[in-house]
Structure formats: structure tokens, C-alpha cells
Structure 1
Amino acid sequence: MEALVAILIGTLTGCGVYLALRNRTFPVVLGLTFLSYAVNLFLLVMGRLTIGKPPIIVEGVTEYADPLPQALVLTAIVISFAMTAFVIVLSLKAHLEMGNDHVDGKHKP
């Protein structure tokens, strides 16, 4: 299972970097989204997700789940959603003003 998750994180990271280096705005936004998915999955896996164990102190329980990775991933999801919305609006504004969707803005269609 660990190998499958490692391959998935590596694939998401590779696809994200490849798309982030493209010269159009939509693949760049999609690449940044893939990178944020890879980071979220990495944070969740590093926290050793445990099922059926309470995240808070309860009498009679000796093993607990670590709530910090889950809180970090939840915060990262909210931040990546806001970042994606901002970048999409920024790219739409640039497309309307320049007439193309190239990242450098120099290419004429």
C-alpha cells in the first residue's frame, strides 16, 4: 500500500510540474492544482492515518489518532481552493486584456 501511495504522489507531482511549465494559463492552473493535491496527500500520509481511534483524550483508551495532519490538510484544501479561484480570475482578466492566454503575454494568436 505504501508503494502505491508513493507512486500516486510521484505521479501527481510529475504531472503538476509538467503542466506548470506549459505556456498557456489553463495547464498552469491545472498543474498547480495537481501539486496541491500531491502535497495534501503527502501531509495526510505522513500523519499515519488511523481508523477507529479518537483524536482526543478519552478515559480507558491508550491509542490516539493524531489530529494535526488532518487539520493541516483541511487548511491546505481551503488555501488551495482560494489560490485556484484567484489564479483563474487573474488568467481570465489577462486573457481579456491581452487577447491571448499565453503566460508570457508576448505571443499573438
Structure 2
Amino acid sequence: MEFLVASSIGLLTMCGTYMLLRGRTFPVVIGLALLSYAVNVFLFAMGRLTIDMPPILRDGVTEYTDPLPQALVLTAIVISFGMTALIVVLSIRAYLEIGNDHVDGCPVGEPSEAGDKN
């Protein structure tokens, strides 16, 4: 089971990094979302969650579930949703001002400000 979770985290990170390096804004937004999903799964897996265990210590309870990873993942989901909304608005604004959706503002085939070809 650990291999499956570790592989899924690695796959999400790999796909997110690949999408971040693309030249258009929509794949960059998708890449950031994939990276945030990878971090959420990592935080959730690090909590060593147990099934049918109470999250609060009581008298007579020997084992319990740590509620901290669940709270961290919930907070990370809210923050990543807000950041995704901000990035989408910024990319739409850049598209409307520049006229294309390339990250560096130059269409394919034209030299960018650094002088290289896209």
C-alpha cells in the first residue's frame, strides 16, 4: 500500500512539474493544481491514519487518530483553491491585455525578450 501511495505522489509531482514547464497559461494552472494535490496526498499519508479510531483522547482509549494531518490538508485545500482562482484571473487578465496565452507573452516562432526561440 505504501508503494502505491508513494507512486501516486511521485506521478502527481512529475505530471505537475511537466505541466508547469509548458508554454501556455492553462497547463501551468493545471500543473499547480496537480502539485497541490500531490502535497495534500503527502500530508494525508504522513499522518498514518487508522480506521475506526477516535480523534480525541478519552479515558480507556489506547489508540487514537491524529487530527493534525486532516486539519493541515483541509487548510491546504482551501489555500490552493484560492490560489488557483487568483492564477486563473491573472491568466485571463494577461490574455486580454497581451492577446495570447503564452507564459512569456510571445507567440510560438517569435523571439522572446531573452532572444531565444519558443
User: Which residue of the partner structure matches residue 31 of structure 1?
Assistant: 31
Q: Distance between the aligned counterparts of 1:98 and 1:92, measured in 2?
A: 10
Distance apart, 1:60 and its partner CA: 1.4
Larger CA Rg, structure 1 vs 2: 2
Distance apart, 1:49 and its partner CA: 1.0
The answer (yes or no) to whether the contact 1:49–1:65 under 8 Å persists in 2 is yes
TM-score, normalised with respect to structure 1: 0.96
Structure 1 runs (4+) deviating above 6 angstroms are none
User: Which residue of the partner structure matches residue 47 of structure 1?
Assistant: 47
Distance apart, 1:107 and its partner CA: 2.2
Q: Distance between the aligned counterparts of 1:50 and 1:75, measured in 2?
A: 21
Q: Match for 2:75: what amino acid?
A: T
The answer (yes or no) to whether the contact 1:100–1:108 under 8 Å persists in 2 is no
1:39-84 Cα distance to aligned partner (Å, 9 max, x none)? 0000000110111111112221111100110000000000000000
**Structure-to-structure mapping, 1:1-109, within 5 angstroms:** 1-107=1-107
For structure 2, list consecutive stretches of 5 or more residues without a partner in the other structure: 110-118
The answer (yes or no) to whether the contact 1:33–1:80 under 8 Å persists in 2 is yes
Query: Which moves more between the two structures, 54-63 or 78-87?
Result: 54-63
- Aligned Cα root-mean-square deviation (Å): 1.2
Q: Distance between the aligned counterparts of 1:45 and 1:72, measured in 2?
A: 12
Identify, as 1 or 2, the structure richer in helix.
1
Q: Distance between the aligned counterparts of 2:67 and 2:92, measured in 1?
A: 38
Q: Distance between the aligned counterparts of 1:72 and 1:41, measured in 2?
A: 11
For structure 1, list consecutive stretches of 5 or more residues without a partner in the other structure: none
Compared CA separation, residues 104 and 41, structure 1 to 2 (3 A) = same
Q: Match for 1:43: what amino acid?
A: L
Identity within the alignment, %? 70
**Count of aligned pairs between the two proteins:** 109
